[in-house]
Chains A and B, each alone.
Chain A
Amino acid sequence: GAGVSQTPSNKVTEKGKYVELRCDPISGHTALYWYRQSLGQGPEFLIYFQGTGAADDSGLPNDRFFAVRPEGSVSTLKIQRTERGDSAVYLCASSLTMVTYNEQFFGPGTRLTVL
């Protein structure tokens, strides 16, 4: 009965480096979402997937950010040439289908720190 899991829980990197953040959704959930939460803010939508395809990536801040979900389960958020402003908690959520996207279950997040 595992919930949404995210790895690593913490990631410290240097400015300019590349990072990958992983999300394992609840088994059987076809919709997967990525959010970013900066200090003092609420979660901010980045991208969501229905199955393997990105249904909406309008929240990605720029082309340094990219996400994949090749087999419709695990998703990886990739950030190239990291900047200090990318430091935040990256949250992943899943829902049974896109229709039930109001019933999103969140993982614990990955805290990314860019030095």
Chain B
Amino acid sequence: DAKTTQPPSMDCAEGRAANLPCNHSTISGNEYVYWYRQIHSQGPQYIIHGLKNNETNEMASLIITEDRKSSTLILPHATLRDTAVYYCIVRVLNNFNKFYFGSGTKLNVKP
């Protein structure tokens, strides 16, 4: 599975969009991009995933570049409750069970 690179931390003002980047330059054609977040010490929570098209759900949007070597998670209107560590993971769908979590990005949403 491809590895990912994320900035260790980012700040965002409450109510503004939070744009979290992820580099996955060695991604293979059959690997999906997943985003999870971990609020304080809770278990990680699924946010969104995609293969090559941009995706949107009630939580966030995922923008994947055309060459698929990087992606951006967008939280359109960040709230204080979105303060968390955000993990970008790439993996082959249904390839055993190996989600490789890196260190993630700590997003600090400030009032």
A binds B: no
Residue numbers of B with Cβ under 8 A of A are none
Residue numbers of A with Cβ under 8 A of B are none
